[in-house]
Every structure is written in structure tokens, then in C-alpha cells.
Structure 1
Amino acid sequence: MVNSLSRPVKLAVVGGASTYTPELIDGFARLREVLPLAELVLVDPAAERLEVIGALARRIFARQGHPATVTCTSDLEAGAADADAVLLQLRVGGQAARQRDETWPLECGCVGQETTGAGGLAKALRTVPVVLDIAERVRRVAPRAWIVDFTNPVGIVTRALLQAGHRAVGLCNVAIGFQRKFAALLDVDPGRLHLEHVGLNHLTWERAVRLDDPEGTDLLPALLAEHGAAVAEDVRLPRDLLDRLGTVPSYYLRYYYAHDEVVRELRTKPSRAAEVAALEAELLRLYADPALDEKPEQLAGRGGAFYSEAAVALVSALLGDTGEVQVVNARNDGTLPFLPDDAVIEVPARVTASGVAPLPVAPLEPLYAGLVAAVTGYEHLALEAALRGGRDRVFAALLAHPLVGQYEHAEQLTDRLVAHNREHLAWA
């Protein structure tokens, strides 16, 4: 990554009181030669948490000698005014809503997860209207700002933003996570690895790994032969499955490839939401310590590893017009010809000041294309439900989802979704 920006940058982070934020701050501080950040505004209605995070951000910058100013506000328009980019990392309903998303689907024998299946639909219904309102308000005070969406479900939220005409790109840390893990196994610098990463957000496969040359020799067969056990353990799928596929599925594919096994597991252990809530309480206690001036080790348990590096690289490329290739969530526009143009896919793309342009993708094998097409159909229906409301639209989206599929399950899940989210659904 090379800094090609000749001017200082203003960024706003909506959801700035998130416990993720110190990961971002650490990246901004370490990578200031890539992104010359002059002003950072953390926007969040949670005033008490925001002040704690903001104070830690200032200490991290001070420790690393970063000159940027850090401002905290609950006023979105004031915070986003004249920003070059706005990062979205919000959670509508907080961890309490996540806890419900991970619980009530299990009552119907379906996976309870915050971005996949019925829980993911609930999150989309809560999130899309809020994000679109934020984006419209940002457009009024910063019409040229790029909106970088890290808010899940990233594919659906990014599709909503693009359909509404916003300058938006979706970002996920799965690809950069694989790049870093593969680089460690191969003992090479991560920047030398090029991944053939393809699919939808939280539904992707690594089909090839190449060193230095994006068209060079595929190292994935050798990587699996030598380190297949470690990779399989990381994605929590059997080693022999990876060998048979010849690809590395993201760990989210476990919800599809081992659905019933996952349901049994989830029914017998505390929810991830409960774990995260406990970790967040510990992190906030640590963040409040005026002696802390770096991100604590415990933050690694929160998830979002390498999010800061991905965000810095993406914002720098968008604002600096670098033409770098990065994995993003963007409009399909014929890249996967069996999907509609307005579908949002997750693939390597060339990033310039004009936006992101997916690179050509080799034809997707039927084993993967069928699932991608089915989930794309669900995402279309999920967005319709989020934008237009109505029980029938929720039912249709659930019926279309490969992890639901049966009408009795769809009926029961619809009732539960509406009951648990009524306060967030204007039409309910």
C-alpha cells in the first residue's frame, strides 16, 4: 500500500462507541503513511461509552505520535460534515437483539446466527432503514463522501445503499483474514499473496492462492497438502471435505455444510452474543483505564481481526485513486453472469476514485453457483422486506433461504421474528 494522497483526510465513524473502534484507531495510527488522517470523528448516541472510546483513541494516537484530532459527537450531520469517507459499524438493537437472533431460530430447528439464516434476516430488517436514513443525512452534508459499510449483513446493506444511489462499498474481514493466515503458513509477507476469493458476503470460497503474480502458479493444492489440518480446524470443517472440494470455504459455510451439527452445538452452549456481551463489559472496563494507550490483547476475542488494515487500504485507494486490487462487496454488473447485475458480490476489485470494478472471475462451478444463486434470491427478497415491510415479504424471504426452505419453519420463524423485533419494524 502506497500513500498517493496529497491532502489531509477527514473520516467519520458511525457507531464510534463500538468496542471494535480501538482496532480501527490502532490501524490508523500504524498506517498513517498510507492514509494521512487529519481528523477523526466518532459518532454515536451512547454518550458515556463514546467518551471512553474517544479518550482511548486520543491516547493511542498520542503514544504513536499521530497528529490527528479525535472528536466525539452524537450529532451525525455535524460529525459527517465535509467528511471524505464515513465508516458504518453500527448494531441496531445492540447485543440484546443479537442474543434474540441467535436464540429463537433454534426453537424451530434452524441455525441461530446474527448474519446467516433467520437471525440474519432479522438483523437486515432492523438495519437497512436505519442505514439508509444515515446515508441520506450524510449525503446532505458530505455529498462526495464514500460510505464504507462494515455493518452486517454487509451484502444486503451494501445493496440497499447502492440501489439508493449512494457512493458505497461493502467491506468484510474474511478475505484479509485468510490472506494473513495463509501467509503465516507459507512464511511470506501477506502483501505478496493474491487470493481468488469469490462468492457473496459470508458465503465465499478461496479457489486459488498465488504468490506475487495474480496469474501465477496456484499454491492452494500444496498449501492444503501440507497445512490442510490447520486450515480445516480454522474453518471448522473436516479436512477430507476441503481435500475433496479443492477450495477453502469461509467458516460461514459451516452453517450450510454442517447445519444440523451446528444446531445441536448451539443448543448446548452459551450463545456467541452472551460471550460477546461479557467480553464487551471487560473491554470497556479496560478502555476506561487512563493508563491504557494501546489496544488490549483481549480485543482479539471480539472478532473483526485485520478490519483496520482492510479499512485503511480501501479508504486510501478510494481517495487516492490508486487502482489497487482489494476484496470488496460491490455490484455484480455481469461478473457472475448467472446473477442479476444489481446483486452484490464479494470478489477482488480494482479500486479507484471512481469506485470499485470487480475483476473478471472464472466460471463458478455448479456446486458453488447453485448456492450463490439461491442466497442471492433470498437477499433480494430480504431487501424487499426491509424496504417495504409486511409479514408476507418476511415469509417469502425465509422460505427462499436455503437454511429454512420448509413452509412450516418459515411460518413459525416469521411469527417469532416479528414478535421479537416489533419495536424496530415500523409496519408491525
Structure 2
Amino acid sequence: MTKGVKIVTIGGGSSYTPELMEGFIKRYDELPIREIWLVDIEAGKEKLEIVGTMAQRMWDASPYDVKIHMTLDRREALKDADFVTTQFRVGLLNARVKDERIPFSYGMLGQETNGAGGMFKAFRTIPVILEIVEDMKELCPNAWLVNFTNPSGMVTEAVVRYGKWDRVMGLCNVPVMATMTEPKALGVEKEDLIYKFAGLNHFHWHKVADKKGNDVTYKVIDAMFDKDAGLPKNIHDIPFYREQLEQMGMIPCGYHRYYYREEEMLEHGLEEFNGVGTRAQQVKETEAELFELYKDPNLDHKPEQLQKRGGAYYSDAACETIAAIYANKDTQIVVSTKNNGAVPDLPADCVVEVTAYVGAQGARNVAFGELPTAEKGWLQVMKAMELLTIEAAVTGDYGTALQAFTINPLIRSGNTAKRIMDELFIAHKKHLPQFAETIARLEAEGVTVKDEIAKDLD
């Protein structure tokens, strides 16, 4: 790598970008950045200019001379990059509204990364990430791709399996939140605990030990029922069943509520759908407030309101990973990466989310060992669903998509599920060129979108 690091962020107009800038500024001594390129598309141009201008103010307020470049030309930005971060949303927040409202209109879960909505986000996103990888092979073949785009695990799997690109890590703020909040619940420092994570993105479990190697997982479980559970802002806090956690001897991630407490989570989601609006509709309001703040020429730091967005500790995941690779720090980080035997219940060549030591050569996974019977079953079903979803996203095959829908635990199989899938195809047709033949057939059959709000969004 040349002296002075070049970083490119695809989806640079995101409201998360100030969080990223804060993390880079904090780590400048070990990650000497030369320039940052923020890339977006025409539809995101206004937000890109607002966020990019604020990002420059943040750097100008720091002791460091770093130039922010803004562009709609991805290839211009990628040339000779050292690191590429991805945080884009195909179809913007309106697409997420459709992902949530259409399933809810049929009484099934609508959520950004779980159930039908998460699968369609993958259908829209995977072809784009593979195009980015092809550009990287030509323009910055030695760069690392650090992906934060959801569904992060599936996107990372697609990069490895179909993009044939191994210099990639997928990230999520959920494990970081656990390691920040659980020590506080126990009354100890983060450095006093040893963590081991294993599973898939938004579907992992972890164990905790003290510095002497004594397992303290059950102490954390006890604390979970008395204190802050450390959930992201976008997950409704329905308690797990204590007996279930004690039986498995592990701590599930917050997203497991959608599986372990499906009935209650669906009930809450439907209540919001029929009332204040789905999570995406609420986020649109939060984002509008954030961008009004970002326009302030005197604002040169991340505003507190960004915490409401659900991306707390994003910079700790993304920036620390980049710093660890650049400086060969061998830092322990939870990443989505190729399994290589860390989780023996899944194939060695698939992508898992695990604790790893991250340095210049990438991730060296910490072996977790076999999972208990129930969790092993869940994990294998979910990985099969992910692989089918990715295959459908790449091939545009309707039957493969239907198989993925059928095996997803949050989708009741049958005619209603097929109807939801067909409506989502129609709703997202602009962003699903690989399914053009399927969409034309569905339109000829008279399939239309049931939910009026989703129908009106372009």
C-alpha cells in the first residue's frame, strides 16, 4: 500500500457516513488516510452533497489534512483504492418500506434482513455488489472490501462464492453492542471478558468467559433479565425465555427474537404497521431530521440523534477492521468470513459470522466447536435458505426463489407466501433486471401490489 491510505465508500450519501468519519478521525494515528471518496447514485446526489460537505467539516475540525471527494462515478473513485467500504441500499428507503409493508399486509413479518423483506433486499443488492467486485478486480485488485450493506452475511457470501473475491469481510454492529453493554451489566470492563461468537449475520450466538478462562455466560444471562439487553434501536425488546437460554448455554443475538418469539414480534410489527408505521417509515422521519442537522454549516461532529438510526458502534466495527488490516494489529473482531472449519456444523467454504483475529492477511477464525442440537438445526436451515436466496439473486430463477421462500422459518409456506413473493417482484421490478422474464409473466397474469402505500412508492 502507498503511503497515505485511500478509502472509497460506496453509498457515501448514507446518514451513517458521519459515524464512519468519526471512527477514522479517532484512529488516524494508526490509519493515516490520504483521501476519502464518497460514491453514490443520481437519486442520492443531494444527500451525498450534504453528507460529504459535513464530512469535510469534520476533518477540517480535526488536526488532520484529509480531502473528501464526492462523485457519482464509481470507477473514478475505485482506481488505486486501498479499502472499499459498502453501505448502500438499492432502491433507497422506499424499497425497505415495500419490503416491510407488503408482507405485513398479509399478516407475515416485514423486516429489513429477516423473512421475505430480507430476501428481496438480497435479490436487489447481490447483483450490484458483484458489479462492484468486477470493477475492483480491474481498478484496485489489492484492495480490501469491507461490507456493511445488509443482509451483510449473504452479500459477503455472494462476493466469495460468485465474485471469487477473498479479500472481503462482512461486518455488523450487533456483536459490538453485545461486547459494549454486557460488561456494564456485570459491572466489569470490556477488557475483563473473553468473547466467542459463531453463526450467521443476524443469527449468531456467543459465549463469555472471564480473564481466567471461567465461563460467565450464565452470569450474563442472569443480567439480561435485570438490565439493559443492549439491543439495536430497530429490535423490539421482547424477553427471551430464560429456560431456553440456560438450556443452550449461549446468548442469542437480538435478531433471534424474530425466531424464538415469532408470535410476539409479529404482533408488535403488525401493531406498528397499522399505527405509527413500519420501522422503515419511522427511519425515514429520523433521516429527514438528520439531514436537516447535517445542513448546518456549523455542525462538525456526529450528532447524538444518529444513535436513533440503529447504527450505534458502526464505526467501531468498520474502522477498527480497516485499521487492523492496515497496521497488521491482529485485533479480535467479529466478522463474516469464510468458515474454514470454525463452525463444524457448516461447510468449510461457506461464509459464517465468527470471532476472528484480523490482520494484514485477513481473518484467522477462532474455532467455536459444534453447536447444541436445536441451534445446529436452526443454523443449517438458515444457511440453506441463504444459499438458495443468493443463487436466485444471481440466476434470476423463480423456482429457486420459491424454494428459498418455502424454507425460510419466518414465512408460512403456501399460496399466501407465493402471493407475497409475486407482489414483491412487481413492487421492485425496477431493481430486479435478472428477474425480468418472471416479472413480465406475473404482470401478464394480472399480479398487482395490494398495499396502497407500497404501490405508490417508486
TM-score tier after normalising by the smaller chain length: over 0.9
Q: 1:190–1:8: structure 2 CA closer, same or farther, 3 Å change rule?
A: farther
Distance in structure 1 (CA, Å) of the matches to 2:282 and 2:74: 30
The count of corresponding residues between Structure 1 and Structure 2 is 421
Corresponding residue for 2:216?
219
Corresponding residue for 2:59?
61
Return the letter of the residue paired with 2:60.
Answer: A
Q: After the TM superposition, which of the residue ranges 252-261 and 94-103 deviates more from structure 2?
A: 252-261
> Deviation digits for residues 104-156 of structure 1, max 9, x if unmatched?
11233321101011101100000000111112112211110000110001111
Corresponding residue for 1:23?
19
Residue among 36, 41, 52 paired with 1:40: 36
The Cα shift of 1:97 comes to 0.5
Q: 1:249–1:68: structure 2 CA closer, same or farther, 3 Å change rule?
A: same
Corresponding residue for 1:91?
89
Contact 1:83 1:145 in 2 (8 A): yes
Q: 1:227–1:254: structure 2 CA closer, same or farther, 3 Å change rule?
A: closer
Corresponding residue for 1:236?
238
Q: 1:19–1:161: structure 2 CA closer, same or farther, 3 Å change rule?
A: same
Corresponding residue for 1:362?
369
Return the letter of the residue paired with 2:183.
Answer: A
The alignment yields a C-alpha RMSD, in angstroms, of 1.9
Corresponding residue for 1:143?
141
1:240-279 aligned at under 5 Å gives the runs 240=242, 241-269=244-272, 270-279=277-286
Residue among 383, 392, 400 paired with 2:399: 392
SS at match of 2:336: strand
Contact 2:240 2:257 in 1 (8 A): no
Q: After the TM superposition, which of the residue ranges 109-118 and 13-22 deviates more from structure 2?
A: 109-118
Residue among 333, 338, 343 paired with 1:326: 333
The Cα shift of 1:201 comes to 0.4
Return the letter of the residue paired with 1:300.
Answer: Q
> Deviation digits for residues 327-374 of structure 1, max 9, x if unmatched?
100111222223222321101112232222322112211121100000
Aligned identity (percent) is: 37
Contact 1:232 1:242 in 2 (8 A): no
Return the letter of the residue paired with 1:229.
Answer: D
The Cα shift of 1:204 comes to 1.1
Q: 1:411–1:380: structure 2 CA closer, same or farther, 3 Å change rule?
A: same
Return the letter of the residue paired with 1:47.
Answer: K
Q: 1:194–1:400: structure 2 CA closer, same or farther, 3 Å change rule?
A: same
Distance in structure 2 (CA, Å) of the matches to 1:369 and 1:70: 46
> Deviation digits for residues 364-403 of structure 1, max 9, x if unmatched?
1112110000000001100110000122121111011111
The Cα shift of 1:239 comes to 5.6
Gaps of 5+ in 2: 232-236, 437-458
The Cα shift of 1:231 comes to 4.7
What is the TM-score with the length of structure 2 in the denominator? 0.88
Q: 1:365–1:42: structure 2 CA closer, same or farther, 3 Å change rule?
A: same
The Cα shift of 1:304 comes to 1.3
Matched, 1:184 2:187: no
Q: After the TM superposition, which of the residue ranges 106-115 and 268-277 deviates more from structure 2?
A: 106-115
